[in-house]
Amino acid sequence: MVAAHGRQYLVELQDAQILSCFPRGKKSTLACGDRVAVLRTAPGQGVVEATDPRRTLLFRSDAYRQKLIAANADQMIVVLAAAPSFYEELLDRCLAAAAHQQIRALIVLNKFDLPASAAAMARLRLYATLGYEVLPLVAREGVQALRPKLTGHTSVLVGQSGMGKSTIVNALLPEARAAIGDISIALDSGRHTTTNARLYRVDADSALIDSPGMQEFGLHHVTLQELPHCFVEFGPWLGQCRFNDCRHLSEPGCALQAAQERGDIDARRLAVYRKLAVDAQRKPRY
């Protein structure tokens, strides 16, 4: 499934034909990247009969609803830029979501020609020390540095609006402009903006999913037990707390708190975890 608009989906067949499809039933939980079985019902049209089991499912959630982003992705590319300024907490949430699904994460600092990029790169130094690759890029001049990172992967681009995700897509795949136009016509959606995820073929073994810009990334679906494992630097200290059921909030003898006080864990990252942990204790209503 390569694109969606409401309950109408575009499905790419093995011979590269595109069918405009609807799901059976009133409720649909399809995501871009799903592998589906379809039945043709008319020229260029079909119905989704079944969905293959997913390897991964990336989505965000708050207390009331879920927003599906991509299915079967094995790499998340978080696109940042010095301008507009990026939110480090949003980056932390994206990385936690990737870790929850065991998806590799790559950080791209786009618009690296801007004067403020040196300061932005300094803000990302922490993530490099945690083992995340941080790739500087000027997408409007070329994406040669990024292209090898896509090989053999289904990658999903995420990030705030204005960071240059669409510029990256168009630089990698000039034909994507035409594809966007085709999708708009097929879905009868008029003037096209990135409001839903779209999948593009990079080559026979690689795909790229462009997702809408976001200002927040809710993680209400991640349980309190799962959450500490979504912060890569917490690993050495998990299981070392005084109490086996430590939530790492304010309990005495918390190994994460002790590690933070020694400088082994960044205080801001621990604060983000604690904010998410408080949210995780509230039962979602969906």
Single-letter amino acid, residue 49: E
DSSP 3-state of 133: strand
Q: Which domains does the chain have, with CATH numbers?
A: 3-51 (2.40.50), 57-210 (3.40.50.300), 227-280 (1.10.40.50)
Residue 196's pLDDT is what? 81
Tens place of pLDDT for every residue, the chain, 286 residues?
Answer: 999 888 889 999 999 899 999 998 777 789 999 999 999 999 999 999 999 999 999 999 988 889 999 999 999 999 999 999 999 999 999 999 999 999 999 999 999 999 999 999 999 999 999 999 999 999 999 999 999 999 999 999 999 999 999 899 999 998 776 454 454 545 544 334 456 899 999 998 999 999 999 989 999 999 999 999 999 999 999 999 999 999 999 999 999 999 999 999 999 999 999 999 998 887 666 6
- What is the helix (H) or strand (E) element at residue 198, kind and residue range? strand 198-203
C-alpha distance across the termini of the chain, in Å: 25
Q: Six-digit token pair at 182?
A: 């085709």
Tokens of 235: 């690993």
Q: In what order do the strands lie in the sheet with 3-5?
A: 3-5, 8-12, 18-23, 45-51, 36-42
Task: Determine the Cα–Cα distance for residues 93 and 97; give it in Å rounded to an integer.
Answer: 6
**Which residue in the block uniquely carries the two structure tokens 């708050």?**
62
Q: Which two tokens stand for residue 186?
A: 């097929």
Q: What's the confidence (pLDDT) of residue 114?
A: 96
φ, ψ at 154 (rounded to 5°): -100, 105
What pLDDT is attached to residue 192? Answer: 40
User: Residue 195: what pLDDT?
Assistant: 64
Q: How far apart are CA 150 and CA 257, in angstroms?
A: 37
For residue 274, CA distances in Å to 79, 89, 277, 280 come to 25, 12, 5, 10
| Contact of 76 with 106, CB cutoff 8 Å | yes
Residue 246 near residue 254, CB atoms below 8 Å = yes
CA 54 to chain centroid: 16
* Interval 242-266: pLDDT, tens: 999 999 999 999 999 999 999 999 9
DSSP code of residue 86: P
Backbone angles phi, psi at 182, to 5 degrees: -65, -40
Q: Are 192 and 180 in contact (CB under 8 A)?
A: yes
